[in-house]
Chains A and B, each alone.
Chain A
Amino acid sequence: MSNSHLFLPSGFIRTPLQNGLGRYIPQLQRITLKFCKSHGGSRGVRDFIESDLMEFAKTNPGTVVYLKPRRHRSPCMVAEYLNGEREYLSCHEFSRDEVYKWLSYMCTRSGIPVMRFRKYQHTDYPTIQGVWNPFTHQAPEINVAEFPHEVLSKPNDQGPTATEQLIEIFKKTQMEDPANKPPN
């Protein structure tokens, strides 16, 4: 595997507060859009605010949207999640579509930091029938068996040996021999 994920923490997939088990609660608590009213780098953010922001706010009524015009500063968005985490993203020179894309990305996150998932599934109940141990499926007869035992001492998946197979074939040929049939 590559080394590029060495600094990225890794973990198992999880969700805060068993979200989705009972009901789904959107985890984005509030989002703050900071932008400049005149600088060119905030143009995309300004266009987004003028056109798509109302629709976004209506479709996500559980998220509070704050707009913070800041002079002479590049635009950014800060997302705050229900578990207390914050995500900062610079929106400098983003287009209107990019702002929308990253904003909807923020909506899909829970506050759990980005990490490399070790597995894409998680269960709290890894076994239902019980973990195998050497005593599983063992015949109870071994408790009172005297070893060496006729059946239990042999490997249980051993088929007939070559000698036994030859004997079987010979017996079959013996039966088919017409000379051995009693004359009618």
Chain B
Amino acid sequence: MAALWKTCHQCLRYGFSNASIYTSITAVNVISKRNFKAHWVAPTLRELQRRKVIEEDRNGGPKIFHRSTFLEWNYDAEIFAFSNRLGEKFNDSSLRAALTHKSYIERETARLSDIGVESNLQFHDNEALAKKGGEIMSKFINGYLRAVFTQVPEELIRAMHDFLTSNATLETVAKHIGLGDLMLCADFPCKTETYVKSFKAVVAALAESSGEERARIFVQDLVVTQLYGQDVNELWNPVDPVGNLTAILKREGKAEPEFRLIRQAGSNSILAVYYVGVYSDKNFISEGAGESLEVAKEMAAREALKKLFHTEDSMRALPFGRQLKNIQSRIAQLENQPNVPLSEWISQKVMSAVH
């Protein structure tokens, strides 16, 4: 009997990963195996779960604990692992300062003075580091965008930069590199601003510890990659594409854009589609489709601008990681040189660029 039980147990070790019916709201994934439990186990657990659900509904959510409240927690080991995980070397003091928030220092000093202990805590907060980190991160992002999107007007560069440095994007990045457990802050669960500040401070700490070059690669690997999968034309579009196209062609000395209807279907129905083509001096530039003639005309003008700026759907893939090795110097050079703004954009001005 015991031998049979052991054989069953061993040969069912690779059991299918069913979600256990007793999962808590903080889903712990169990690589489950067949278990033979006594008859009272299931009803007991069911009752406990029922009571837990009632309690949590009353309190407005499950109880959450910071990871540092666990018995198995070693902050020094966590910091060591953090820097190794990213493959970077940090100065210990810079990294610790980058992860310490002003709110935490205030809370600690208040707590100690409440007890009556004289506190000469040697904590540095991350205010200055965060500010510096934000500036250098913007600089690195702009450098990359201008080196990769050479034909694009400065307005789109700014829109992409704003997307990459938005609180939502930076919070996601910060959470996924493990900053949530390492930050010393008074608020729990930590606010978005706390995450963003910590991340910016970490970038500054890296620049201090390993140099600007490594910090640039860090920002490119972690922040700029969030642009992947994002359609850049959703981030920014010129307000009057027809007017802008006319102005650009006029500045280049080409003929005025001529819009012609090239395809249509279902004009009497709800699902009407019109294809309008843009021609300059009888040369086809682009076509656009829409549910009405006006919409199709605007889409055609947008497509023409996308073609000029090299941001069509078929544009070249963005380079990341090792593909940036050869253009790092160019990126550094373009950090301080804004692209041509839309009001002055002509092809000749951007033709000399690389990529």
Contact = CB atoms under 8 A, between A and B. Distances in A.
B110 interface: no
A22 B177 CA distance: 13
B27 A128 contact: no
Interface stretch (B47-55, B82-90, B204-212): B82-90
Contact of B72 (A32, A62, A124, A128): A32
B22 interface: no
A26 B263 contact: no
B178 interface: yes
B178 A29 contact: yes
A4 B16 contact: yes
B31 A87 contact: yes
Contact of B314 (A63, A90, A129): A129
Interface in A73-117: 82-90, 113-114
B74 A26 contact: no
Contacts of A23: 86-87, 221-222, 321
Interface in B46-95: 71-74, 77-78, 80-82, 84-87
Q: Select the residue from A30, A130, A143 with max chain B CB neighbours within 10 A.
A: A30
Given A17-B176, A23-B221, A124-B228, A62 B85 contact: yes
B262 A25 contact: no
B313 A127 contact: yes
A124 B6 CA distance: 48
B320 A22 contact: yes
Interface in B310-348: 313-314, 317, 320-321
Interface residues of B, number: 49
A143 B321 CA distance: 48
Contacts of A125: 313, 317
A134 B265 CA distance: 10
A114 B30 CA distance: 10
B237 interface: no
B120 to A, nearest CB: 30
B19 A7 contact: yes
Contacts of B27: 85, 113
B218 to A, nearest CB: 8
Interface residues of A, number: 42
A7 B74 contact: no
A113 B74 CA distance: 27
Nearest to A68: B72
A22 B224 contact: yes
A30 B74 CA distance: 11
Given A62-B85, A66-B72, A82-B176, A22 B263 contact: no
Contacts of B77: 64
SS class of chain B's interface: helix, strand, loop or mixed?
mixed
Contact of B18 (A7, A22, A86): A7
Contacts of B226: 17-18
A130 B314 CA distance: 8
A98 to B, nearest CB: 9
B82 to A, nearest CB: 8
B351 to A, nearest CB: 24
Interface string B149-176: 0000000000000000000000011011
Interface in A14-37: 16-18, 21-23, 25-26, 29-30, 32
Interface string B264-282: 0100000000010000000
Nearest to A85: B29
A64 B74 contact: yes
B307 interface: no
Interface of B: 16-19, 26-31, 33, 71-74, 77-78, 80-82, 84-87, 172-173, 175-178, 180-181, 220-222, 224-226, 228-229, 262-263, 265, 275, 313-314, 317, 320-321
Given A17-B222, A30-B81, A83-B176, 15 more contacts: A17-B177, A22-B220, A23-B87, A26-B85, A29-B85, A61-B80, A61-B81, A82-B176, A84-B175, A85-B27, A88-B29, A113-B27, A125-B317, A128-B313, A143-B262
Interface of A: 4, 7-8, 16-18, 21-23, 25-26, 29-30, 32, 61-64, 66, 68, 82-90, 113-114, 124-125, 127-130, 134-135, 138, 140, 143
Closest 4 CB pairs of A and B: A22-B221, A62-B85, A124-B229, A61-B84
30 contacts: A8-B18, A17-B226, A18-B228, A18-B229, A21-B221, A22-B220, A22-B221, A23-B86, A23-B222, A23-B321, A29-B81, A29-B85, A29-B181, A62-B82, A62-B85, A64-B77, A64-B78, A66-B73, A68-B71, A68-B72, A82-B177, A83-B176, A84-B175, A87-B30, A88-B31, A113-B29, A114-B17, A125-B313, A125-B317, A130-B314
